[in-house]
Chain A
Amino acid sequence: MLGVVSEIPVSQSSPANAELTAVLERVADGDQLAFGELYDLTAARIFGLVRRLLVDHAQSEEVTQEVYLEIWQTAPRFDASRGGAMSWMMTMAHRRAVDRIRASQAGRDRDQRIGRRDITVDYDDVAERVEITIEHERVARAMTRLTELQREALSLAYYGGLSHSELASYLEVPIGTVKTRLRDGMIRLREELGVAS
C-alpha cells in the first residue's frame, strides 16, 4: 500500500495541508483574522468529531471552544516538521473530548453510551449530515480489512473514548489483549490507509 499517499484525493471539506499550515503560521503570529479563516476551514470537522464522541450538543460546543482556544494559544508552538496541521488539531480535539468523557458523570454510563452509537465507522444521524466525506469512504473501506475484534476495539477506543480498563471490562478480555488488538488494528489500518510509517 505504500505509494498510495500521493493518490489520496483531497476532498473539498478537508483543506489541503499546505493551505492549513500557511494559515496556522499566520495565527502563530497573532493574526486574529487568520484564526477566523482557520476556524472556517476546520470547524465542521472538529465539531463533528467532538460531537461524535460526546453526543451531547452543549458539551460538544464547550469542548470545541476549548479546543480552538488551545489552538490559538499554542499555535506558536506548532511544528510542521512533526506532523500535519489538521492532524495536530484533530489530535487536540480528540484528546479533549476523551478527557471530557472521562471527567463527566456521563462517563459512568458507559454501556448506555456505547449503546447509542455504532461501534463501526458508520453514519451519524442523517438529518445533521453535511456530506459524506471521501475520508469516510476510505476509512470505512480500510476498516473492513481489520478483523472483527480489532475493528470493534479500535472503534470503541476512538469513537467511544473507552480506556484500556473500560475496554477490557466491556469486551471481557484481559487488558493485554485489548492492547494487542489496538496495536494490530492500528498497524493494519495504517497500512490500508497508506499512511507512511
Chain B
Amino acid sequence: MSDRDDELSRAASEALHAFDEPQPDAVAPAPAGFAETATELGLAATPVQPPASLRADLMARIALTPQLPRLEEGADAATAATPTLAVPAAPAVPTAEKPSEPSGPSQPSHAGPAERRAAARWRRPVGVLVAVAAAAAFFFGGLAIGQLQDSTPSTGQTQAEQLADIAAAPDAQRAAAEVAGGGTATLVWSGELGRSALLADGLAPLPQDQTYQLWYIGAEGPVSAGTFEASSSGTTWHVLEGQMSAGDVVGVTVEPAGGSTEPTSAPIVQIAS
C-alpha cells in the first residue's frame, strides 16, 4: 500500500473505532470526511427516546461535575479532539492547566475571567472546608449530610431542578469529605439561596430499620434536614430540607427508621459551608 492508502486506511478504521488497541494520536490531521461519514452511519440508527429518569439523573449529576477549562489558544489540539476522561467523575480539581513557568516573565494568560472564576470556584472549598468540617466534628458529635438518591420518579425531577438551581447560583460553592465507613460526600450550597445538596458515592445501604439523616448544625444546634436512603447504584444525591444559614455545618448520621429529632449517633461525615 502507498502512504496515502495507509493514511486513508488508518483514518477509516479510526472513524469506525475498529482498532484492537488504542492508537497514538495522529501527527498529521486525518483525511477529512471520515468522522462525518461515520456520524451518518450513527444517525441512520433508529432514534430511541431514553427514559425520563436518565435526564433527571444527568441534570443532577452535572450540577456536581466540574467542567474542563477551555484550552488556551494554540494549545494541544489533539487533546481537545480526543478527550479521554474518566466518567463518572467525582468533583475534582481541574488538572489540565499547564504548570506555570516561573522563568517566563511575560507569559500571557489566555484564561478569560469566566474560566478563572469557574476554576476558582472548583478549587476553593475542598481543602479548606474539609479542615473546617473536621474541626466542627471535634466539638459536635453528630453531623448530617444531604441525602442524594437516584430519586424516585415523582420527586426526581424536582430535586434535580433544585440541585441545578443551587449549583448554578452565582455564589455556589462545594466541598468534599470522606465518609466514615467508606465513600465520599460532596456538599454543594448557595448562601444566597440558603439551600444545599449532598452527593455521595459509595454510601453503604442500611438495614431497613435504619436511615441516613441530614442535619444543619448552626449556633442553635442541629436541625434535621431530612432523611434519605443510599442508592443501590453507587451515587446518591439529595437536596436538604429547610434553610441553610451561613456557616452551618452539614452532617449525616445513621438514625432509626423514620429519623430522629436530634442526632443519636456520631456523624459519619460532616462538611462546613
- A: which residues have CB within 8 A of B? 13-14, 28-30, 32-33, 35-36, 39-40, 43-45, 47-49, 51-52, 61, 64-66, 68-70, 72-79, 82-84, 86-87, 90-95, 98, 121, 123-124, 128-133, 135-136, 138-140, 142, 154, 157-159, 161-167, 178-180, 182-183, 185-187, 189-190, 193, 195-197
Contacts and interface: CB of A to CB of B under 8 A. Distances in A.
Contacts of B15: 91, 186
Chain B contact residues, majority secondary structure: helix
B80 A79 contact: yes
Given A77-B70, A154-B16, 12 more contacts: A30-B67, A52-B46, A66-B87, A69-B87, A72-B65, A74-B80, A76-B70, A77-B83, A90-B42, A133-B46, A161-B17, A190-B36
Contact of B9 (A13, A52, A165, A179): A179
Given A94-B17, A186-B16, A190-B34, A48 B45 contact: yes
Contact of B88 (A44, A69, A129): A69
A73 B51 CA distance: 22
Contacts of B13: 157, 164, 179, 182-183
Interface in B58-74: 58-59, 61-63, 65-71
Contact of B47 (A70, A130, A163): A130
A92 B141 CA distance: 46
B63 to A, nearest CB: 6
B56 to A, nearest CB: 10
B12 A183 contact: yes
Contact of A74 (B45, B83, B167): B83
A61 B66 contact: no
29 contacts: A30-B67, A44-B47, A47-B48, A49-B43, A65-B61, A65-B88, A69-B61, A69-B65, A70-B85, A72-B62, A73-B83, A74-B68, A77-B71, A77-B83, A90-B39, A91-B35, A94-B17, A121-B44, A124-B46, A133-B46, A136-B43, A138-B40, A163-B18, A164-B18, A183-B5, A186-B8, A186-B38, A193-B40, A196-B33
B12 A186 contact: yes
Contact of B16 (A13, A29, A166, A182): A182
A190 B37 contact: yes
A35 to B, nearest CB: 6
A91 B31 contact: no
Nearest to A134: B43
Interface string B83-97: 101011100000000
B227 to A, nearest CB: 26
A190 B81 contact: no
B204 interface: no
A28 B80 CA distance: 13
Given A13-B47, A79-B80, A86 B39 contact: yes
